[in-house]
Structure 1
Amino acid sequence: MRARLYRSTPLSLFALTALASGMSLANTPEAKPLLEITISASPLGRTADELVQPIAVLSGEDLASKKRASIGETLANEPGISTGDFGAGASRPVIRGQSGPRVDVLANGISAMDVSALSPDHAVTINPLIARQIEIIKGPASLLYGSSASGGVVNVTDSRLATEVTEGFSGSLEASQGSNARNALGAADINYGQGNHQWHIDGTRSRSENYAIPGNAAVDGSSPSQGRLANSANDLDNGALGYSYISDAGNAFGFSASQYDQRYGLPVEDEAFIVMRQRRYDAQALLRDPISALESLRFKISDSRYGHTEFEDAATAGTRFTNNETQARIEAVHQPIAGFRGVVGVQLGQREFAAIGDEAYVPATKSQQAGLFVLEERRFGRNKIELGARVESVRMDPEGAVARDFTPVSASLGNLYDISENSHLRITLTHAERAPAIEELYAQGPHAATGTFEVGGAQLRLEQSQDLEIGFDHHQGRFGFEASVFHKQARNYIYASEVDDGLGNPTRVEDDGTVNAAGEFLLINYRQNRARFSGYELAANYALLNETDGPVQLSIRGFTDAVRGTIETSTGDAPAPRLTPARYGLSLHGHFKATSANISYVQAMDQDRPGRLDTQTAGYGLLNADVSVVLHRHGSSEASVFVQGTNLLDDDIRRATSFIKDAVPAPGRGGVVGLRYKF
């Protein structure tokens, strides 16, 4: 099978920076390829050494060993990233202490268009099991993707929309069986190219029962769930069809249709579960050298019809959430102007959200969003300057409440300084603005998932932050090193605050808002104040044995990260809630002929600085290992068997980022055996 390659320009501005770090030291076992990769998708001919923005990428063998059923679990142990898990069904990434409406999760550069940012018990409708690459922008990405990306972006790329033809059949098949939740998985990703045509089909089916835990589900030992977490089953069906036409000049036109179905239990309740469905349609057009002034012009449009029902039990349907949304992007990469090369883009979106039922705590709301952005760069000797700006218009029009309009403006300035051929210093300064989310503005009612009665702040203003990042990397021979420090200073930071009952205690209410000291729900208001977040990430890699030493390759990698957040309140400074504690990790990666193996250990420290609505969390140690053996190889095709072990120490893992950590731990010891065929 032979790929017909064209001089490629970026599919999005994200590709300009994020794709380049696909061989990042922080995520791959060997440092050497980093210096050899030229990013063909970049219009500026970037290599991985030329990046300014802090980015991590999972791809290839590294991604295969870390894939889990949800995007949050897949990324949970990457430096600077954690997950706000809610049992096995829902798990959303947390980037440097930012989550929910501050972190956007994308599929091929367009939002998931679900309601996962609204509540931690809502799943992300993106399937990491068919991902070709997962890219993470750490820090503000408002410049590229608007208000919902002020804390970062996760972009999952797959093969559904092609920009090149791969002759004949290509893809992968996978089947596996797991022990912890008696889970079974089957996945197929099949592509066929001929002439100017590329077809695609994929499908995933995953079934898991209630998962095993080390002891009692409750941190105080009071739960009836002992040894296995009740109501934690998770079933997923996902599939897509795609077609692309690629002209001889490399212009690409593609379309895909997908459906995502999931049913999963809510383990904080005895019988409650969620049934979810999304139908999504994506189209793109990519023109190369359309006019003399442009290197490329790309248009993308996606439409989603989403709905889920929260069942109280098998016979009782509860609240129904719907989200019908359309998003479009236009990106034009221009020829050099006064030495500057870059991209100008437009992003448009409209959304109709509704909730019907007892827990419809957010009113039906229509939203419109339009953004114009530009990113430019130019090299001056050893320095490469990158600057950009974005202006956006956001309007939210709820039923029964006053509509609000916002105009967020974001800007960034970065510099990459080449200390030497192998060492680079990066400095980035970003001003990011975020419009409040609809729940922050208009919430009014009980929210069972978090045990709160939420009251929005109808007069909330734009959230603004200034972010500074300094990074250094060195890659030479067997050794690689990356380090970064960051600081966020925010004004009008939006947070959930308890309401004092007048006696110095939090106010509790019934589901109708009636004050009752023994009430089921904690009363919270969305408020704004100053906040600051600081932290660091460090990773080092060393090839103990490489190709020149013999048939065995062995590398060792270590990392550490930490984030600290403080919110200034009317009663004094308070720690930001649900922050990842300091962590460190060590891993070994080895190859011998047809066998590859990994073993990794991550130690999370105690989180003894909880927010006011949070609790302390004990540290934990997570030991994972996997082995893969190629049984048959012919040309570009290979069949392999793999074995994965997770939480091998069977530790009681309660992530500080989870709303329900005191009642629901992560899965205990488990193993997976599977077959994988790539062709």
Structure 2
Amino acid sequence: MRRHVLAVATFLCVQAAHAADNVTLPAVMVQAEKVSRVDTVVNVENTQAPDRTLGDMLKHVSGVQSGAFGPNSGAPVIRSLSGNRVQVLEDGQSILGMNAISGDINVPFDPLFVKSVTVNKSSDTVRFGGNAIGGSVNMDSGLISREMEDKDQEMELMLRKGFNDADAQGFRMNFNNQRNISTNLQMSVQRISHYDIPGNSKASVCDSQMFPVAGGANSALADSCQREARVQRVYNKASQPFIDQFMTENPDWADGDFSFFTNRPTSVWMGKTYTNPANPQYVEGTPSYVQNKINRDVTPNYRVTLGNSYIKNTHLAVGSTYFFERGYIAASMDSKDSEYGVPGFSMENLSFGADYSAGRPVGVKLKQDKYTIEANLRDPLPLFELAELNLAKLDNTSGEYLGATKANEYDFKTNQAELLLTHTPFGPLSGTLGASLRSRDITGSGAQRYLPDVETDATAFFVKESLDLGWAIFDGGFRHERIDHQIKPSRFKTSRNSPNATLEDRAYSLNSHSIGGYFELGSRFSAKLRYSDSERAPEVNELYASNAHYSTMTQEEGSQKLSPERARTSEATLAFKSSGFAASATAYEMKYQNYLYLGYSGLQTANRLPLKYWKQTDTTVEGVEIDVSQSMDLGAFGKLDLSAFSDLVKNKADNPDSLRAHNDGEYLPNMPTNRYGANIAWQNRGWKARLSSIYYDKQKYLGKNVSEEIPLDAFNMVDLQVSREFAVRNSYVSAVEVFINGSNLLDEEARPHNSPLKYIAPLPGRGFQVGVSVKL
């Protein structure tokens, strides 16, 4: 199959290039696949907002939050789903690597020059496979010109100075011949030495709720707070009125502190009577033994400054497009490097009473090199109006470090090929046929690796069709996919706790389909209905992980016996529009069969990490999203846009067995909270301003780690962006824009409940960026 697809793709490219000689064309815009009006799709344009991560950029989209593994790593969380369930793409090509497996590994992201991001909050498995069972996020890098620019050259220089925010510099350039060749260059750097926070890095509950009223210590909270917490039974020297004189003279006979005290004024030892002096510490009625509660930091509890929160990102890329009469062919090269600290977090679980000051901070080093070819050809074959070929080679290396020492490192080498054919419409029926191939090779190293070397091959074909009847649009799709995981020889060894005695290859055959409808209900109302039946194969960490996985703070053990997940998703949206006002409400329910999750065994390993196994249970994810907006034309005073949203989501096991109910509870831990957001945007004569607020409610649906999660206080994140663009009339500079951004203006202690580091690393406090953008 692979040879046949590549042969057809090569034939189309050669035919297109041959037809392109000496052709001068106007702007050409071709798009192989239109966004379905049935899916819940949102397009987010890049602004000058100080987005640190991809999750930050999407936080104003209802139903989408950030994973928030500290300030430097934040993957999108769609309707409580993330990781292997949310496909992350750049220019239509998957960039999932360790960022889908380990929360402290960030999605490679350039906040300066990414052009836009398209979010599909519905299951997107028909288009992008099982890893999109919870939706997809596709970044447009701006590297590939899909139509000829208006001017033959343009350059943009960007400078940002941060105050409790990152400094950033970059430039973007386009030059073209206004006929058939257009080239883009991008370079950017972002860096900061540390972030400041409103108070302590560790939450107050690490002190106030460490010792339950019922007794003992909350070990789960202690692990999350990175504390040594235990209760000692200590003899009370004030409980007895006299000091034993014989023991004072013969201390070698004593069995402990209690031996030196007595209730009697005299003692007889070996026929001799001793007079016992009074105990000056004596307090009548006090117990013989008291509890000594030890609550000691394993990692530092920072004050005001969040330690180990540095970051340095660099990005260098080039992309070029050749236009011809019937389409274009484009190629790009992209390199991203990132180094950052994981604040308040330790990979060294030392024994009780050890010297924790010698602990080494955790750092991440990430490098991604990507090479792509994108080709479009109109009328490639009879009965087909468009063909699109996408080829990509991705090399992603992610490493976790203890100080300067490598703990583990994984190299993901991925090759992808996809061919899309859009057939000629048959009356109201239009659609796309597609085939894709992907080969991924994972190689690990380091003393603390927890994944074996695995090669994964994926092949798929799909079809998506749309029937436009004017008053209603129906669409449907089907995808068949095969996933093969092949174990490669290596020195990797599973732990004694692993259920996998010998690692074995695994193969899965998956089928997914979807159907939906969009209906015009008069001039103001519309409705969407959607149903999908999607499958996802277990990923390599769910199958083969073994040993300590410190970014999840668990002893993580996979299982080769796991079955594919299956999600039956129902979604309904009602929308209203009138005179600049728009409102929509969406309700959804995802019924998961064999939902994969990390379940607690109730035991801890020698390094005090909880022992967890990848397990499966039926689960229901349900929620509601509401969006409201109003646009107003203020005449001479400009344009004003008001908007608000709310999202509520619940992830609950359907019929948990007794072990799940006792150890993990009905709800999974670290789930997103309910949110309520509002935005005010104004623009007039070069001025732009936006004030936004997102209120994160206190979590009501709590998971367990034997002990129930401790919810943290609600918080409100208020951000502001103000900019002014000046037109410059000379031969060198066309426009200058100056701006100021403010984040967390209320300086709130913000600890998102879905953040694994919520107890030890809050989000940064109040910060500002001032900057200038110069267009040449």
Alignment of 1:76-115 (within 5 A): 76-115=59-98
Name the counterpart of 2:112.
Answer: 129
Match of 1:493 among 595, 620, 624: 595
Deviations 1:480-534 (A, max 9, x none): 11221111011000011000xxxxxx21102xxxxxxxx4211000001100011
Aligned length: 620
Name the counterpart of 1:309.
Answer: 399
Distance 1:483 1:669 in 2: 33
Distance 1:604 1:308 in 2: 31
Match of 2:319 among 226, 242, 245: 242
Structure 1 letter corresponding to 2:200: N
Name the counterpart of 2:35.
Answer: 17
Alignment of 1:296-445 (within 5 A): 296-314=386-404, 316-337=405-426, 339-399=428-488, 401-445=503-547
Structure 2 letter corresponding to 1:564: K
Deviations 1:258-307 (A, max 9, x none): 11111011211342211221211111111011223111100011101221
Distance 2:25 2:378 in 1: 18
Match of 1:606 among 698, 705, 721: 698
* Contact kept in structure 2, 1:537 and 1:561, CA below 8 Å: yes
Name the counterpart of 2:362.
Answer: 272
Distance 1:593 1:200 in 2: 29
Name the counterpart of 2:221.
Answer: none
* Contact kept in structure 1, 2:650 and 2:701, CA below 8 Å: no
* Contact kept in structure 1, 2:50 and 2:741, CA below 8 Å: no
Name the counterpart of 1:620.
Answer: 715
* Structure 2 residue 662 is the aligned partner of structure 1 residue 567: no
Distance 1:326 1:278 in 2: 13
Please state how far the C-alpha of 1:338 moved relative to its aligned partner: 6.0
Name the counterpart of 1:471.
Answer: 573
Q: In 2 relative to 1, CA 618–250 (structure 1 residues): closer, same or farther, beyond 3 Å?
A: farther
Distance 1:618 1:436 in 2: 35
Q: In 2 relative to 1, CA 615–282 (structure 1 residues): closer, same or farther, beyond 3 Å?
A: farther
The unaligned stretches of length 5 or more in structure 2 are 1-23, 207-296, 347-359, 489-501
Distance 1:286 1:178 in 2: 41
* Contact kept in structure 1, 2:49 and 2:741, CA below 8 Å: no
Please state how far the C-alpha of 1:336 moved relative to its aligned partner: 1.8
Distance 1:617 1:527 in 2: 28
State the Cα RMSD in Å.
1.9
* Contact kept in structure 2, 1:277 and 1:306, CA below 8 Å: yes
Q: In 2 relative to 1, CA 291–589 (structure 1 residues): closer, same or farther, beyond 3 Å?
A: same
* Structure 2 residue 733 is the aligned partner of structure 1 residue 661: no
Q: In 2 relative to 1, CA 102–416 (structure 1 residues): closer, same or farther, beyond 3 Å?
A: same
Alignment of 1:103-252 (within 5 A): 103-166=86-149, 167-170=151-154, 172-181=156-165, 183-194=166-177, 195-220=179-204, 223-247=300-324, 249-252=325-328
Please state how far the C-alpha of 1:420 moved relative to its aligned partner: 2.2
Distance 2:617 2:98 in 1: 26
* Structure 2 residue 540 is the aligned partner of structure 1 residue 452: no
Q: Secondary structure at the match of 1:575?
A: coil
Name the counterpart of 1:537.
Answer: 625
Distance 1:482 1:189 in 2: 37
Distance 2:586 2:76 in 1: 20
* Structure 2 residue 394 is the aligned partner of structure 1 residue 292: no
* Contact kept in structure 1, 2:98 and 2:398, CA below 8 Å: no
Distance 1:421 1:133 in 2: 30
Q: Secondary structure at the match of 1:334?
A: strand
Name the counterpart of 2:742.
Answer: 645
Distance 2:487 2:313 in 1: 32
Deviations 1:105-163 (A, max 9, x none): 10001011432001001111232431111100002111100011110111000222222
* Contact kept in structure 2, 1:96 and 1:563, CA below 8 Å: yes
The unaligned stretches of length 5 or more in structure 1 are 19-50, 500-505, 511-518
Please state how far the C-alpha of 1:580 moved relative to its aligned partner: 1.4
Please state how far the C-alpha of 1:593 moved relative to its aligned partner: 2.0
Q: In 2 relative to 1, CA 488–66 (structure 1 residues): closer, same or farther, beyond 3 Å?
A: farther
Q: Percent identity?
A: 24
Structure 2 letter corresponding to 1:260: K
Q: Secondary structure at the match of 1:165?
A: coil
Distance 2:712 2:426 in 1: 54
Please state how far the C-alpha of 1:668 moved relative to its aligned partner: 0.6
Name the counterpart of 1:37.
Answer: none
* Contact kept in structure 1, 2:97 and 2:396, CA below 8 Å: yes
Q: In 2 relative to 1, CA 436–283 (structure 1 residues): closer, same or farther, beyond 3 Å?
A: same
* Contact kept in structure 2, 1:9 and 1:295, CA below 8 Å: no
* Contact kept in structure 1, 2:363 and 2:402, CA below 8 Å: yes
Name the counterpart of 2:268.
Answer: none
* Contact kept in structure 1, 2:734 and 2:775, CA below 8 Å: yes
Name the counterpart of 2:610.
Answer: 522
Please state how far the C-alpha of 1:474 moved relative to its aligned partner: 2.1
Please state how far the C-alpha of 1:379 moved relative to its aligned partner: 2.2
Name which one, 1 or 2, has greater alpha-carbon Rg: 2
Q: Secondary structure at the match of 1:144?
A: helix
Q: Secondary structure at the match of 1:231?
A: coil
* Contact kept in structure 2, 1:235 and 1:262, CA below 8 Å: yes
Q: Secondary structure at the match of 1:550?
A: helix
Please state how far the C-alpha of 1:577 moved relative to its aligned partner: 2.5
Please state how far the C-alpha of 1:469 moved relative to its aligned partner: 0.7
Structure 1 letter corresponding to 2:770: V
Structure 2 letter corresponding to 1:237: T
Match of 1:5 among 10, 22, 27: 27
Q: Secondary structure at the match of 2:547?
A: strand
Deviations 1:211-231 (A, max 9, x none): 011111111366431101110
Q: Secondary structure at the match of 1:116?
A: helix
Alignment of 1:49-88 (within 5 A): 51-59=37-45, 63-66=46-49, 68-88=51-71
* Contact kept in structure 2, 1:114 and 1:125, CA below 8 Å: no
Name the counterpart of 1:27.
Answer: none
Structure 2 letter corresponding to 1:215: G
* Contact kept in structure 1, 2:30 and 2:376, CA below 8 Å: no
Q: Secondary structure at the match of 1:127?
A: coil
* Contact kept in structure 2, 1:609 and 1:616, CA below 8 Å: no
